[in-house]
Amino acid sequence: MAKKASLSSPQAGTERARPVLHQHSREIQPYGKIAKLPIALDENVCAASVENLNQILADTITLRDLYKKHHWQVVGHTFYQLHLLFDKHHDEQDELVDTIAERIQLLGGVSIAMAADVAETTIIPRPPRGREEAPVQISRLLEAHEVLLKEARTMARQASEAGDDGTNDLLVSDIIRTNELQVWFLSEHLVDVPLVKADAPTKTKAASAD
């Protein structure tokens, strides 16, 4: 039995103010189970959407972190531009992460969160730890975007067919549109055009014959 603090002790009279530490208990909701909320959707529909969204969430977290890795490690004469672009896209993906996770909770599910769980779930290939050239970094990002977009399109159709309009709207309005726009901004960096002096136009056969 714990001893009570004496009246002369500095802790005397502070029992109710002290934090209760080292607490443990059972989970109040296991991962993969639905705690249904009154949102007028069947529990099976919620469960299917939660499963899909957790996959999207794991891949979005991975893409977000891939942007931050490249933001730190980018090199070359486009360092400044790509350093800023990668960070901008990272922040936009981070907003999507929060939006997806909140939708999962709203559907009565449990959102994936920890890095180890994300690593086990994502289907985006893991990059090396070291630095890579900027074109390789961009190519990796574009491949990751394509993975997400393929998933999102399929899952949006499934949500629409199931009557889950909220999930369909999130996938189309937020995930698909954001990722498509980021793909455009990245792809233009891989177009091989001169930086200072334009290529001379090639003469046509008719012109050369004259």
The count of C-alpha atoms lying within 13 angstroms of the C-alpha of 31, restricted to the half-sphere facing its C-beta, is 7
Domains within the chain, CATH numbers bracketed: 33-190 (1.20.1260.10)
Q: What is the 3-state secondary structure (H, E, C) of 1-36?
A: CCCCCCCCCCCCCCHHHCCCCCCCCCCCCCCCCCCC
| Cβ atoms of 112 and 59 closer than 8 Å | no
d(CA 159, CA 155): 6
At 14 the pLDDT is 81
**pTM (two decimals):** 0.88
Query: pLDDT per position in the chain (210 positions), as tens?
Result: 555 556 667 777 788 888 999 999 999 999 999 999 999 999 999 999 999 999 999 999 999 999 999 999 999 999 999 999 999 999 999 999 999 999 999 999 999 999 999 999 999 999 999 999 999 999 999 999 999 999 999 999 999 999 999 999 999 999 999 999 999 999 999 998 888 888 888 776 555 555
* Nearest alpha carbon to residue 94 among 117, 116, 65: 65
As given in the structure block, the two tokens for residue 80 are 């400044």
At 124 the pLDDT is 98
d(CA 179, CA 143): 11
At 196 the pLDDT is 85
